[in-house]
């Protein structure tokens, strides 16, 4: 049996994606899922995401941007704190900060993120609002590897969500989040169990 991959999960808020991953590992077992969460990091204190980690008995760490003189120092600290747990994959589960060169130098090609739109359409912080404003009839979510652009890294998987006439931003976002949680759990498990390679823009899961 292949050794379970080590995951560090980064959060900024309520941690619902983290909970979905915790539940998946608990349901399938570490060997069945192929991965175990070894630590949870955050960019702020007092959030539900950290409370979920603590309830699960996981170590946590916090790197706040304001505690560092420069963004580069914060990025290096985050990279160091993450590296201490020797992760095979790092998962952004609603982590709302853009990482920098040091972090990507260590974890490029291993840092998984989700985005609430079908990339390359509607990148950036307002993917749901932008899709609605544009009049898109379908949108969805993307699981991708992070690179040094904004939502430009190689796409691993996508899930489609229909836009309904009565949708406002919050209603649409809630439906996207449901698909996003399932997709993230599926993708992380497959990456961990099967291995993968990145060929240019294409991610090939073995």
Say how far apart CA 146 and CA 83 lie, in whole Å. 17
Choose the catalytic residue: 115, 126, 144, 173.
115
**Binding-site residues from annotation:** 15-17, 71, 96-99, 113
Say how far apart CA 79 and CA 3 lie, in whole Å. 24
Helix (H) or strand (E) holding 1, with range, is: none
From first CA to last CA, the distance across the chain in angstroms is 16
The long-range contacts involving 132-136, CB below 8 angstroms and separated by at least 24 positions, are 132/163, 132/167, 132/168, 132/169, 132/172, 136/163
Radius of gyration of the chain (CA): 17
Q: In sequence order, what are the residues at sequence separation of 6 or more whose Cβ sits closer than 8 angstroms to the Cβ of residue 174?
A: none
115 part of the active site: yes
The catalytic residues are 115
């Amino acid at each position: 049996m292949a050794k379970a991959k080590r995951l560090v999960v980064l959060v900024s808020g309520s941690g619902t994606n983290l909970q979905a991953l915790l539940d998946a590992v608990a349901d399938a077992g570490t060997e069945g899922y192929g991965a175990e969460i070894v630590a949870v990091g955050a960019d702020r204190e007092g959030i539900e995401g950290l409370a979920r980690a603590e309830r699960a008995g996981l170590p946590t760490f916090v790197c706040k941007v304001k505690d560092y003189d420069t963004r580069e120092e914060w990025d290096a600290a985050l990279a160091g704190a993450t590296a201490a747990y020797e992760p095979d994959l790092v998962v952004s589960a609603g982590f709302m900060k853009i990482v920098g060169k040091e972090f990507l130098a260590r974890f490029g090609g291993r840092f998984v993120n989700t985005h609430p739109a079908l990339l390359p359409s509607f990148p950036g912080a307002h993917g749901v609002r932008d899709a609605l404003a544009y009049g898109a009839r379908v949108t969805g979510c993307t699981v991708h590897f992070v690179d040094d652009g904004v939502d430009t890294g190689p796409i691993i998987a996508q899930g489609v969500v229909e836009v309904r006439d009565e949708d406002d931003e919050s209603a649409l976002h809630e439906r996207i989040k449901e698909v996003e949680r399932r997709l993230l759990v599926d993708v992380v498990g497959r990456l961990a169990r099967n291995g993968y390679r990145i060929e240019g823009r294409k991610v090939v899961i073995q």
